Structure 1
């Protein structure tokens, strides 16, 4: 455990979910290092400011992370807190993904109006979710939807669409398990493979601080997310592409729009490789 007293400047997005996830991160790090102080620095990212943009057509890569990474590079912050599914596979020079907090439930939920049995119009900005769920709802029309968790729930409740799809982890962390007029239906991972890193809070720091923070974080979650990100990198995907990966119980569930759903059995020794070794193994499986 690091013993020196220091103040950690924590940069994060301003959304309610981002702020809650940052509170969770600070609580965990503070419990492990009670001599550390924390200064919270909320920031707006390009993705937060360009609500009219289509994440699919306007280049979603790094929209929710680049501003936080830049603050780390410039020395304006010491730690960036992210939803891991938003992180591109490439990092700026001098910045590392130190690790992850223990993962929350990682699956997707169908949020559907109570009066609807089979949704005719589903709203999502995720090409990954749309590509997979078209097979489940072949007759549905699709539209994009933007906004934070509560905004999207309100839009569905008010009839902007009959359903949407959201990450279970975000609702869990915000303490939302119901919403008037809506039903929350879990979607099996085999029907909607989550985004790589979904459900995991990732912490980015300068390279020299990486080992210090890594020693405080969840090794099991790190192994799973690094394996998922290895698949994302091997397929050339990003957080707003129709590529997905989720590791659980020795199996890597993957989806790519070109090849569909697959389940890869992962040898125990592979899950303990470093990220480079994982990437090499995954590349062999998908070649």
Structure 2
């Protein structure tokens, strides 16, 4: 009997939920037993750090990657939007689960039409939401999803925040006492590259072993979005949004120099449509 696969994951409730989804899919598609290896990352330990000021890159992935490199884990589970475009040479993304709703949710204290203080550590969210709430002040609010919701409902530090729809759905949170939830369209806010997708990372040379759990449509979309991220530099602390919908062939794009744009890319060389994106950011 083969040994169980060891799956490295962060310890947060959302990360554990995502790891359970991956483990369940592996069991369903391959019959292979899976055990979880919950870990604390630098980003988890340094809960008082400003992610924007500390750079954000690798803060939630490095320890999981090290577990892969030293053989303590066979796989690591990540939110695809947290993954830097650069990773150790002998590691790669080998599978993606079917994508959840990629958009953002605006969460606001009930009865507040125009929040004075909005909490987010994401330059992308802040840059786009400033157009919706030009008078608001911005603060960074750390903590897991339920902690942030509770703080907003109390209204002490901030009256509103922005969260990924996918995380809320996976945690089965569609309401919270004292709060209202509003789904933001792609015309209002373009998500982060990879948002809503769960990525599975492994050592190079093992990708074919996980073909059965991979969702090709999600993989294609995330690869396109990560190509945009790579071209314009950075990780989750860049004011950049990219979302590709294969069913409509629509690439939605946000850059602080051009705002929200969209284009179709089917049948076009990547260099062609990437040049169009670059042109938008230079013509402002």
Normalised to the residue count of structure 2, the TM-score between the two structures is 0.93
Of 38, 43, 48, which residue of structure 1 is paired with 2:34?
A: 38
Of 225, 241, 245, which residue of structure 2 is paired with 1:244?
A: 241
CA distance in 1, matches of 2:272, 2:103: 25
CA deviation vs aligned residue, 1:170-208 (integer Å, no higher than 9, x gap): 010001110000001111111110000000000000111
| 1:47-58 alignment, distance < 5 Å | 47-58=43-54
CA distance in 2, matches of 1:43, 1:285: 41
The answer to whether structure 1 residue 221 and structure 2 residue 218 are counterparts is: yes
**Ranges in structure 1 where 5+ consecutive residues have no aligned partner:** 271-276
| 1:60-139 alignment, distance < 5 Å | 60-139=56-135
For 1:260, the equivalent position in structure 2 comes to 259
**Which secondary structure does the structure 2 equivalent of 1:99 belong to?**
strand
The answer to whether structure 1 residue 153 and structure 2 residue 149 are counterparts is: yes
For 1:285, the equivalent position in structure 2 comes to 276
**Which secondary structure does the structure 1 equivalent of 2:121 belong to?**
coil
CA distance in 2, matches of 1:221, 1:281: 22
Conserved? CA contact 1:106–1:199, under 8 Å: yes
1:76–1:282 Cα change, 3 Å: farther
Say which is worse superposed, 236-245 or 76-85, in terms of deviation: 236-245
CA distance in 1, matches of 2:180, 2:240: 27
CA RMSD after TM alignment: 1.4
The alpha carbon displacement at 1:5 in A equals 3.4
The alpha carbon displacement at 1:282 in A equals 4.8
**Which secondary structure does the structure 2 equivalent of 1:197 belong to?**
coil
**Which secondary structure does the structure 2 equivalent of 1:57 belong to?**
helix
The alpha carbon displacement at 1:72 in A equals 0.7
CA distance in 2, matches of 1:91, 1:214: 21
CA distance in 2, matches of 1:146, 1:10: 26
The alpha carbon displacement at 1:234 in A equals 0.6
Normalised to the residue count of structure 1, the TM-score between the two structures is 0.92
| 1:262-277 alignment, distance < 5 Å | 262-267=261-266, 269=267
1:118–1:178 Cα change, 3 Å: same
For 2:192, the equivalent position in structure 1 comes to 195
The alpha carbon displacement at 1:281 in A equals 5.0
